[in-house]
Amino acid sequence: MKLTVYGAGCQFCQNFYQTVEQAVKELDLKVETEYSHDIAKVISLGIIQMPVLMLDDKVILTGNPGNLAKLKAIIKKEIGE
């Protein structure tokens, strides 16, 4: 499994990626994480709000999740653990 954060390269998107990495670590998940600047991919999905979090090829979150606890709950639910 792979979690990919698509962002514009701004500080907010970079911080979001760091929060995703922290969530994965705290949940002790064996998933790959990646940060991508591929805006064309985001546009092709019809998404206009970033950052975007994808699990493999599925969009699981756009925009700000609120906090680490909410993000962990979203990731855990989507991964099925």
Output the domain CATH number for residue 21: 3.40.30.10
Model pTM?
Answer: 0.89
A 10 A CB-CB count for 3 gives 23
Write the DSSP symbol of residue 55: E
pLDDT band per the 50, 70, 90 thresholds, residue 32: very high
Q: What domain range includes position 59?
A: 2-79
Total tally of structural domains belonging to the chain:
1
Q: What's the N-to-C CA distance of the chain in angstroms?
A: 13
Structural contact between residues 7 and 13, judged by C-beta atoms closer than 8 angstroms: yes
Q: What is the pLDDT of residues 38-52, one digit of tens each?
A: 888 888 988 888 899
